[in-house]
Amino acid sequence: MRRDDPPVAARPRRAAAAVTARDFPVVPPEAAGRLWQVTKAVARARFTEWLGVLAVTYAALAAIGLATSLVGQTGREPDELARQFLGLPARAVGMALTGGTYLLAAVLLALLSAGAFAYRTAWFRRHVGILWDLGTFWPRAAHPFAPASYADRAVPELVDRITQLAERHTGVLLCGHSHGSVLLALAVLRLPPRVRQRVALLTYGSPLDRLYARLFPAYLNEEVLREVGDRVGWRWLNLWRDTDPVGGWIFFAHRPGDPPPDAADPAGRVDRRLRDPRDLLSPQGDRPPPVRGHHPGEADPEFRAAVRDLAGRLRGPGRT
């Protein structure tokens, strides 16, 4: 679905430099340091692109651990099984077992170090929180040792609340930030037709495509996302920033220089990219505009403009 997305292995710093070069084509000498900071923020935000690789690595280690446990249940020594079925010498098996022991100790040490690092470092703690939200979103069958899925409780409650509001008002604007946008998308899919006709959707910092569609394509993919758009009559806007490590675009990036989407495709009008920061230097010469990243930004003029746009669509004569 991400036709204009650079490959995961495409040197994050180089890809980030291309983004900032298009956003800030003219950089005064006094802003060179600030440009480097923004480029670093964009490159750091691409860390999330590696979650798929981490998930595959975790699955491979889990499979190896399961196979080792099954071998242990047979009561036979690993070197004996390796000689019988693989023809490996006993020395090679012993070296592999020794290496596995050291690897297990290294993994344990890495987990302890990651816990201490997350406690001391805000941005790393934020990524740990992302993984926690991803895991606890799914039913307990997918993670039996974690708390019960919050989606099982939140989505039905959202559907009931939206239905109540739609029955009392002519239009309901749903605003969801980060994982809240995922819950709202699922709630939209459960709304009855009479309610969907009175609903518009505003998502920002949304991981719908960047995380969920990539890691769980069997459950959330472009077809499902387009179904969400159809359910609300394409009264949907999505705000995103390149400095956001969690959220991203849903259908089209709309970066400067990107080819425009098909004008007949309503999905091409969903995403709105926000340049972050707005400028490298402050006009007053004091502190430069901050890098917003994953911060919600409800006070931003772009957010207020999106609210006015969707509210107008709910009131307009062309409302479906």
As a whole number, the mean pLDDT across the chain is 82
**Average confidence (pLDDT) over 116-139:** 71
Please list the residue range(s) of the chain that carry CATH number 3.40.50: 151-315
**HSE toward the beta carbon, residue 18, CA cutoff 13 A:** 11
Joined together, the tokens standing for residue 166 give 């739609």
Q: Are 300 and 290 in contact (CB under 8 A)?
A: no
For residue range 50-86, list pLDDT tens digits in order: 666 666 676 676 666 666 666 666 666 666 666 666 6
CATH 3.40.50 fits 151-315, yes or no: yes
| pTM score | 0.76
CA distances from 170 to 195, 203, 311, 312, 319 (A): 10, 21, 11, 12, 11
> Looking at 44-53, 59-68, 226-235, which range is the least confident one?
59-68
For residue range 256-312, list pLDDT tens digits in order: 888 889 999 999 999 999 999 989 988 776 788 889 999 998 989 999 999 999 999
CB-based burial label for 100 (10 Å; 0-12, 13-18, 19+): middle
Other beta carbons within 10 Å of 244: 26
With vertex at residue 131, the alpha carbon angle to CA 293 and CA 144, rounded to the nearest 5 degrees, is: 160
pLDDT score, position 317: 56
pLDDT band of residue 9 (cuts 50, 70, 90) is very low
**Average confidence (pLDDT) over 123-130:** 69
**Average confidence (pLDDT) over 3-21:** 69
